[in-house]
Amino acid sequence: MSTLEILDLHVEVEGKEILKGVTLIVNQGEVHALMGPNGSGKSTLSYAIMGHSKYKITGGNILVDGKSVIGLPANERAKLGIFLGFQYPHEISGVGISNFLRTALASNGKTIPGAIEFHKLLKEEMQKLGMPEEFLKRGLNQGFSGGEKKRSEVLQLSVLKPKFAILDEPDSGTDVDGLKAVALGVKEAVAKNKTGVLLITHYNKILEYVKPDFVHIIVDGKIVKSGDAKLAREIENAGYEKISKAIFPFRESGDSRYVGVAA
């Protein structure tokens, strides 16, 4: 079973330290929810994992199956099995979803189904997500609403079958139906492909559909509390401010994966 390890990670953006020692370990098939107030470092963590050049790692490490990915470009990290779903997915005119995904599969060294078989696969996955077949005729995300872009991201997740998916606010910009469709896609990726998921969100709503194994609260660049799904409901009821005043380390549970969680 593959493992994604974030170990005592420190990250700067334009000379300002954003992440101040984040430790988090995700195994394939697990769902970890990362919650926190605005500006706490959630998106910074996602971009640092994927290798965005703006985010300078000043300490710690990121490992996939024991191999450090520090210094590797994003495409090499993708080959190792990391997928990033963006908070604000870009539109790419002139590049259709089908061609984009076939190229991505080839770049990652995966077997590409024949054209007819692949088209059938796409239609089946799009139907699950409530995406009209007409979208295949457009450029990637071109003219899509916010919710449609999030469904497109989950479609990519379903087809590419990464070991690990970092999903940055997959619930933003979605209506109720879109939220349920996105949640279904994420659950299928975990159940069928054993994808390990780090799901970044502000709210508990999506976690009612995607049941997390672990919930982590990040405040001011540090994970200050970790628990199970009950913690997300606690956040919904009490808010981040109250939780941050009563932080405690998760290590007392005996789970060695959380050694180094901020007290």
Which pLDDT belongs to residue 245? 64
Q: CB within 8 A of 242, min separation 6: which ones?
A: none
Q: What is the CATH number of the domain that holds 58?
A: 3.40.50.300
Phi, psi of 145 (to 5 degrees): -75, 175
The per-residue pLDDT string of the chain (263 residues; one tens digit each, 9 = 90 and over) reads 899 999 999 999 999 999 999 999 999 999 999 999 888 999 999 999 999 999 999 999 999 999 999 999 999 999 999 999 987 777 778 888 888 888 888 887 777 778 888 888 888 998 888 888 888 888 787 878 888 888 889 999 999 999 999 999 998 888 898 899 999 999 999 999 999 999 999 888 899 999 999 999 999 999 988 999 999 988 888 777 776 665 544 444 445 444 334 33
The verdict on residue 31 lying in a domain is yes
Which pLDDT belongs to residue 246? 59
Count of structural domains, the chain: 1
Which pLDDT belongs to residue 262? 37
Judge whether 2 and 197 are in contact, CB under 8 Å. no
The verdict on residue 161 lying in a domain is yes
The predicted model scores a pTM of 0.86
The verdict on residue 230 lying in a domain is yes
The verdict on residue 123 lying in a domain is yes
The verdict on residue 263 lying in a domain is no
The token pair at 214 is: 């672990």
Produce one character per residue of 129-158: b if its CB has 16 or more CB atoms within 10 Å, e if not. bebeeebeebbbbbebeebbbbbbbbbbbb
The verdict on residue 233 lying in a domain is yes
Of 148, 144, 146, which Cα lies nearest the Cα of 181?
Answer: 148
Tell me 40's DSSP state. Answer: S
CA distance 163 to 83: 8
Phi, psi of 59 (to 5 degrees): -170, 160
Instruction: Count CA atoms within 13 Å of residue 199 on its CB side.
Output: 37
Domain that holds residue 11: 3-258
Q: Is 21 helix (H, G, I), strand (E, B) or coil?
A: strand
The verdict on residue 142 lying in a domain is yes
Which pLDDT belongs to residue 216? 95
